[in-house]
A and B are shown apart, each in its own frame.
Chain A
Amino acid sequence: MSNVSVSNVREFNTVPDGNPKVESPLAWSYQQHPAPRASGQAGIVLREKALLGHLVLRGGAIVLDEAVRATLGMSLPAKPNALEHDDSGERSIQWLSPDEWLVIVPGGEEFKLERALRQVLGDAHYSIVNASGGQTVLTLSGDNAREVLMKSTSYDVHPNAFPVGKGVTTVFAKATVVLRRPSETHWELVVRRSFADYCYRWLLDASAEYGIDTQ
């Protein structure tokens, strides 16, 4: 029972070979709900970081820490609600719960990373789930980004309570999102695919008074 080796784990690349046509979870929303024209300067800039690689790691902190050091060259954030980026800022690891972390890497890297992690982890007790198809990342910036968040979430987004390098899972409108702050000017929302359209339209509506700029 305890001898679950690497070869017993069924893994497959969720992005098939060739160049399949892919659409972001928000493709439909962009067509159906184009952003209203901002009169003058837009207070909110909303962008989507579509089709990134999302992996959910579960297991003991020490074992996983060694594994991500070996594969990603980053350490696992051990403190609750911590978010860490690598030097390029493209790869991140976020604490989700005492035994759960969210790794986001550029699209296409996730399968390679998953394999590398399985190699390193071997027989350890852990789980890796590729959640890339299930969620997408929205970024909010602009002068009024914090005001929009204050309208949308019950979490305290004041800089004192929410410094750069923090990420929490919390309530956003009537959905659940992972809200994170990678830099002084930017906020990120990791939203589930099925809530993506709802969150997008909520953001359009909440940002209307400040003017919104989408891609």
Chain B
Amino acid sequence: MFYIFCPYCKEHREEEEFHARGQAHLMRPSDPDNTSDEEWGDYLFFRNNPRGIHHEMWVHSVGCRKFFNITRNTVTYDILETYPMGEQPTITAATPDVRHEQGVQVADGGWQTVGARSENKALNEETSS
């Protein structure tokens, strides 16, 4: 079980008090009427599934019932930080230490390091370091 730090209750609580609610920092298209079906579909249905650092929205459902964000490593399950809604993470996949030590790959570009295609040199070289 994890002890998760709730940024509103300001203390660590048992994992069973929380629920994960998917990817954080999703931006609703500012002008829905003039948004293409593809963009709208991306916003509604498509989520990143990175290997490594991921920013997720969680809710302290038994407790203060507030939503907050977690930066989590999907490989090691480490919770690197939690921060309130409306704030930006201090640790991202681009943070130099994280990138170097854990060899993580951002999924923003599309596909991921696990099962990386052999022709993609850049990806595979980077993760082997």
- Give chain A's interface residues, CB within 8 Å of chain B: 80-81, 96-98, 100, 154-155, 168-171, 176
Verify A170–B10 contact, CB threshold 8 A.
Answer: no
Q: A97-B64, A169-B63, A169-B64 are in contact. Are A81 and B16 (CB under 8 A)?
A: no
Contact assessment for A80 and B14 in the assembled complex, using a CB-CB cutoff below 8 Å: no
Q: A154-B16, A170-B17, A171-B17 are in contact. Are A81 and B65 (CB under 8 A)?
A: no
Number of A-B contacts (CB under 8 A): 37
26 inter-chain pairs at a CB distance below 8 angstroms, sorted by A residue, are A80-B8, A80-B9, A80-B10, A80-B64, A81-B11, A97-B8, A97-B63, A97-B64, A97-B66, A98-B8, A98-B64, A98-B66, A100-B64, A154-B16, A155-B14, A168-B63, A169-B63, A169-B64, A170-B13, A170-B17, A170-B62, A171-B14, A171-B16, A171-B17, A171-B62, A176-B62
State whether B16 touches A97 (Cβ < 8 A). no
Please name all residues of chain B whose beta carbon is closer than 8 Å to the beta carbon of A80 when the two chains form the complex.
Answer: 8-11, 64
By beta carbon, the residue of chain A nearest B14 is A154
Other than A100-B64, A171-B16, give 8 A-B pairs with Cβ distance below 8 A. Answer: A80-B11, A97-B63, A97-B65, A98-B8, A170-B14, A170-B17, A170-B62, A171-B62
Chain B interface (Cβ within 8 Å of chain A)? 8-11, 13-14, 16-17, 62-66
A-B pairs, 7 with minimum CB distance: A97-B64, A154-B14, A80-B10, A80-B9, A176-B62, A169-B63, A98-B8
